[in-house]
Amino acid sequence: MSRARIEHLAFTLHDADGQYISNFIRAGDHNGITIDYRDLIETALANNARGMLLFHNHPSGDPCPSANDVVATRQLVALCRPIGLVVHDHFVIGRKSMVSMRRRGLL
């Protein structure tokens, strides 16, 4: 993902014990990617997931989360909370590094 020319969103799903279930990738375009909350939540529920990790790349190479990244992730966290689905972190991948939104206090 670090060298992709368009944005991609990947997410891994985990069960209640933190065991890996599966991973999924969604492609965006040259203008970015929109988090489809419904798609993510339906996929998680269909797989009996209790947690997820999100990853997306910035083709510019800059791993700093944008304001839109933060807003979209916080909205997803808020939607997941009442149904018992935990968004553990959202990593933004740049060309040579990545940023954890949780470590930055952005979740």
Q: What is the pLDDT of residues 39-98, one digit of tens each?
A: 999 999 999 999 999 999 999 999 999 999 999 999 999 999 999 999 999 999 999 999
pLDDT for residue 30 is more than 80: no
For the chain, domain boundaries: 1-15+28-57+65-107
The model carries a pTM of 0.91
How high is the pLDDT of residue 2? 65
13, 44 contact by CB (below 8 A): yes
106's tokens: 């952005």
Q: Into which CATH architecture does domain 1-15+28-57+65-107 fall?
A: 3-Layer(aba) Sandwich (3.40)
Angstrom distance (rounded) from CA 2 to CA 98: 9
How high is the pLDDT of residue 6? 84
Q: DSSP readout, 72-102?
A: HHHHHHHHHGGGT-EEEEEEEE-SS-EEETT
14, 51 contact by CB (below 8 A): yes
